[in-house]
Amino acid sequence: MEKIVYALWRRPGEDREALNARLKDEAAPALLALPNVRALRLNLQDADVAAAEALRQPGPGEQMDAVAQVWVDVAHTAFRQPVDDALSAAAARIDAWLVTESTIIPNTQHPSREGERTEGWSQFCFIRRPDCYTPDEWLHNWQVLHTAVGIETQANFEYVQHVVARPLTEGAYPYGGIVEECFPAAAMQDARVFYDAVDDPEKFAANSALMMESCGRFIEMPGGIHVLPTSQYEYRKLA
C-alpha cells in the first residue's frame, strides 16, 4: 500500500468552485472505479472555509487550489497513470508526491463519513525543508521536537504528518513534508479556539509563542510553507 498526495490547479480564468465541482462530480467517481485506488480524500477550498482566508500563507511557486489524497496498491508510473489521467481531466495542472503517513491524532471526535464534508475545517500545509538543515536534522526538529508541541498547543482533532519520499510527476516541487490538521469551525476566526485557550489569556499567549518558536525550527518564514484552508471530503476510507 502506498499513498500519493496530489496538488491541483484550476484552469485559467475560472474560480475554485468550478474545479471543486469537477473534482467531486467527475474525478471522484472515476477514481473510485479504478481497481488500484483503495481510499480517496479531497481537500477543497470552498465557501465553507472562506472565513479562514486570513490564515492562508503562500509558499514556493504558485499556490495550489485543491488537494487529492489517494491510497493505491502501486504508485509506479504505469500503475498510477489512470489516477493521473482522472485528475488531469479535472485540473489544469497536477503535481504528485509519494509520502509516508503518520497519523498523530486520529479523528475520533468528528469521524469523517464517506461522501460527506467533515465537520470543522482542514489546514493543509506543504513544507519546504530549509537549506540550513540536513534531512536528518530537519526530521528531528519536526517529528521529534515539534510533534508534542503540535499536540499540546492546539485544538486540532486530527493531525497527520507526511514525509515526502519523492516527487512522482515532472516539475513537482521537492517539498520535505506535507501536513493536514483539522480544527473546529470557530478556529477559522478565533485564534483562542485555534490555540485551545478560550477564556485563558495566559494559556493563549504561551501556546501561540511556543508554536511559533517550534515552527521556526523546521519551517522557513516567510515563504517556506503553503498553508491552505480547506474542507475535507472523505470519499473512501481504508478498510
Which three cell numbers, joined as nine digits, stand for 139? 526530521
In whole angstroms, what is the distance from residue 119 CA to residue 232 CA?
8
What pTM does this model have?
0.96
DSSP H or E stretch at residue 2: strand 2-9
Please state the φ and ψ torsions of residue 219, each to the nearest 5 degrees: -125, 130
- Which ranges in 108-181 belong to alpha helices (H)? 135-139, 147-152
Average pLDDT per block of 10 residues along the chain, 239 residues long: 98 97 98 98 98 96 97 97 98 98 98 96 98 97 97 98 98 97 98 97 97 96 96 95
**pLDDT for the residue numbered 57:** 97
**pLDDT for the residue numbered 230:** 98
In whole angstroms, what is the distance from residue 48 CA to residue 42 CA?
14
**pLDDT for the residue numbered 239:** 79
DSSP H or E stretch at residue 20: helix 16-22
Closest by CA position to 186, among listed 119, 120, 125: 120
In whole angstroms, what is the distance from residue 200 CA to residue 156 CA?
17
CATH topology for 2-236 is: Alpha-Beta Plaits (3.30.70)
In whole angstroms, what is the distance from residue 179 CA to residue 124 CA?
6
Say which amino acid occupies 131: D
- Look at the block and give the residue holding cell 509520502: 99
**pLDDT for the residue numbered 207:** 97
Which three cell numbers, joined as nine digits, stand for 37? 485506488
* Strand partners for 225: 127
Q: Map out the domains of the chain as residue ranges.
A: 2-236
Taking residue 173's Cβ as centre, other Cβ atoms within 10 Å add up to 17
Taking residue 35's Cβ as centre, other Cβ atoms within 10 Å add up to 9
- The alpha carbon of 147 is separated from its chain's Cα centroid by a whole number of angstroms, namely 16
Instruction: Tell me if 32 sits within 8 A of 40, measured CB to CB.
Output: yes
Please state the φ and ψ torsions of residue 96, each to the nearest 5 degrees: -140, 145
Question: In terms of C-beta density within 10 A (0-12 exposed, 13-18 middle, 19 or more buried), how is residue 152 classed?
Answer: exposed
